[in-house]
Every structure is written in structure tokens, then in C-alpha cells.
Structure 1
Amino acid sequence: MQPVDLALCLAVDVSASVDFAEFGLMIGGLAGAFREPDIARACAAGPRGAVAVAVVFWSSAQEVAVPWARLDGLAAATALADAIDNAPRLPQPGATALGPGMAAGLALLGRCPAEAGRLVLDVSGDGAHNQGRAPAPVRDLGVAAGVTLNALAVLNEEPDLLSHYEAEVIGGPGAFAMSCADYAAFAEAIRRKLRREIGGGGLVA
């Protein structure tokens, strides 16, 4: 894979707190974001003309849902959107193992086949960590390796989740956390988040 401006790993919560309808809203929203022409243009706007994106689903276990793809315009971004739409829900619903999910995302970033100017782990979920390795030490390992970790908290079940993500998940240059009220609001929130991450961290509307 040719060099890219950004390697972005999307780590998505598929634990038992995410029901079938919520999973559909989340995955549909994520896929829809990559069909947006402005996001596709942003992917190709940097000096290397592309970003690399992969998706990992996490619960009690973790699975690579979509392998690394190089996005250099609308056609490639649409192909990624189709792959996200068609990704099976693996692993099975289980505990909210946030730390292991983050570790899986960092490991996937470490296997990115392209040299990248920036490394970003994008974590999204609706619950606080409750199984396995604690997230904060995993975050610290990522930051030490040059990764920026950002988060999107869905507040439908845990209204204080944003503060948990701010304290335990995010870190590195330009790191930020966002929230949305529920999965119906996820699509717009993830679009805003991706614009900010792909664009290099600037504030967006």
C-alpha cells in the first residue's frame, strides 16, 4: 500500500448493551459517513492524497471487521462504506471490554501496510469498561507509540460516559472526545468526528 496521510482505526462497541437495532443504526451511520462527498474529498486532500482506514469490532473478544483500505476519493470511500455495511456482527455480544478493544485497535494500527503521517484510534461505544485490561494503561501505551486516541460516547444508557472516556480513553496530540444522546444521533456525530479526524483535528460544524 502506498504511503498515506493518516492511518485511522475505527474501534466499534458491539457488546451486549448494543442491541440489534442500535447496531444497525451505528453501522449504517458509519457507512453513510464514508459516502459523504466532503469526507471522501478530505481523505484525498492531504499531501499524500489518501488515508488508510480499518474497522475492529470489540466486546468480550475482538475481530477485524474491515481490513485496511486506502481511500483516495469517492470510489474508494464508497467501497469501504459497502464493506462496513456488509460486515457481520462478530464477535458475539458480551461484556464491555474497552481496554482489550483499544488494544486490538492499536495492534491493528501497528499492522497498517502503509506508512502514515498520523496514527489515530477512533473509539465509539455506549458503556464504561467492565472486563479485562483497564483502558487508561492501554491508552498510555498508544500515546507512547505516537497514536492519538479519540472517542465518541453514546449516552443512551450511561449519561456520564463522556467523562469516563475523557479520563480513561483519549490521549495524544489533538485528542478529543465527543458525545451523542443516542444511536439515532450517531450518524451525524460520527460524520462530525470523521471530518475532524481526517482534517487533522480542526474544529468542525
Structure 2
Amino acid sequence: MSYLRILAAALCLARPASACDLALALAVDVSGSVDSSEYRIQMDGLAAGLRDPVVSEALVRGQARLMLVQWTGTSRQRITIPWTKIDGFDALDTFAAKVSADPRVWRNFSTAIGEALEMTVNSFLEVPECKRHLIDISGDGVSNEGVEPTEIRDLLRRQGITVNAIAIEESEPDLTAYFFENVIVGEGAFVVSAAGFKDYPERIRKKLLREVTRQTADRR
């Protein structure tokens, strides 16, 4: 265990247990435009981002709930790792290991962002105790099948769910603007750009830092 992790653990032990600050659904694009190596970059990069010392300390201190979703075309969205309580660093490490090892469910289908969001919304009924509800969605293309993501915005607002996105601009250089205009929703919602999949690990780490450290600041 690193010095930073030991220090973070000591800080957590020094604070009283608290209620859940954040329920975070991690929605990963597995559409046909994502090849096997790019899928592995996403999963390994996401796992590494969750293990970042600052990210992991914030998740543990906030008693966060994490969930992993794989999504692609119409009727092809699946919760592959259900809501998990992050009540210690062992729980965080176990969840990250499951993310890294999560087998791909689909390979050759379209991109249905709206349906991915719609399915994920319902899962938040299982974590009503959490103060913030957030969907972190990744994608490398625009929605080209199923309900449009803009049609889900009112539902997301009613449920108090924020959607942030990471746009992987491997083949679509205007994807960030598309996500900004059509996908994200909620107070403080934002899009992070990755020029390609090789940039994904560092960009998702910075995105997680921005998302989870907000809860630390809000509680002070």
C-alpha cells in the first residue's frame, strides 16, 4: 500500500462514518466502433482511475455507491456490476478489479445513447439514500439508434440525476460539441474530451477527480 493510500486510510478512520454522498453509474460504450483493444483500454483505464489515491479517498470517505453499465444499440444495455458500497479501500480495490476483468457483452451493434441513459435512470431507485446521483457516460460516436438522448433530459431532471460525459474523438472530431448539446444534463454537468482511446486513461482519471472531489468540498 502506497504512502498516499495509507494516509488516506488514516484520514478515513479519523472521521465518523457518514451517509452516502454519491451514487455513480459508470456507463461504458461497447458499440461496434470500439474494437477489443479499445475496450480493454477503457476498462483498465477506468479501473486505474478509480484507484487514484485522491479519487479512492473521496469515494471511501463519501461511502459512495458504484455501478458499471455496458451499453450499445437498442435493447442492449446491461448492468454488469451492480451497485456496490464503497465503505473501505478493500471494497474499492475489489470493485476496480471487477471492472478491469469485466467481460465484454456485445461487439457489433449500433449506438443508442438515449436508451443507455433511460435504462440507467431506473437503477437509481435502489440508492435513494445517496445525496448525489450521477451518470458518467463514455462514447466514441453520436447516437444513431433508438430514442434520442435529448428526449431523456426531462426524466433525468425530474429524478435529480446529473449526466457527465467523456467524448472519445478517435473518428469524430466534433463529438465533444455533440455530447455538450445533446447528452449532458444537470447542475455543473460537463464533457471531457479525449483525442483518442490512447488518451482515455488520463482523461477518465481527471474526470473522476472532478466528479468525486466535489463531494468533499460540498461537505466542508
Does TM, normalized by the shorter one, top 0.5? yes
Deviations 1:51-109 (A, max 9, x none): 10101100011111211111133221111111101211113430011111111221222
Residue in 2 aligned with 1:153? 167
Out of 129, 150, 158, the position equivalent to 1:115 is 129
Superposed counterparts of 1:82-101, under 5 Å: 82-101=97-116
Out of 30, 34, 38, the position equivalent to 1:18 is 34
- Change in Cα spacing, 1:93 to 1:107, as seen in structure 2 (3 Å) is farther
Does 2:205 match 1:191? yes
Partners of 2:55 and 2:213 within 8 A in 1: no
- Unpaired runs of 5+ residues, structure 2, are 1-17
Q: Select between 123-132 and 84-93 the one with higher mean Cα deviation.
A: 84-93
Which one has a larger percent strand, Structure 1 or Structure 2?
Answer: 1
Q: Which amino acid aligns with 1:107?
A: N
Q: Distance in 1 between matches of 2:91 and 2:215?
A: 22
Amino-acid identity (%): 37
TM-score normalised over the length of structure 1: 0.91
- Unpaired runs of 5+ residues, structure 1, are none
Q: Which amino acid aligns with 1:192?
A: K
Partners of 1:42 and 1:199 within 8 A in 2: yes
Q: Distance in 2 between matches of 1:11 and 1:100?
A: 12
The structure that has the greater radius of gyration is: 2
Q: Distance in 1 between matches of 2:157 and 2:207?
A: 19
TM-score normalised over the length of structure 2: 0.85
Residue in 2 aligned with 1:200? 214
Q: Distance in 2 between matches of 1:187 and 1:181?
A: 11
Deviation at 1:144, TM superposition (A): 1.8
Q: How many pairs were matched up?
A: 198
Partners of 1:8 and 1:109 within 8 A in 2: no
Question: What is the DSSP-based 3-state SS (H/G/I as helix, E as strand, rest coil) of the residue aligned with 1:72?
Answer: coil
Residue in 1 aligned with 2:141? 127
Q: Select between 100-109 and 185-194 the one with higher mean Cα deviation.
A: 100-109
Residue in 2 aligned with 1:53? 66
Deviation at 1:151, TM superposition (A): 0.6
Partners of 2:60 and 2:89 within 8 A in 1: no
RMSD across aligned positions (CA): 1.8
Deviation at 1:201, TM superposition (A): 7.4
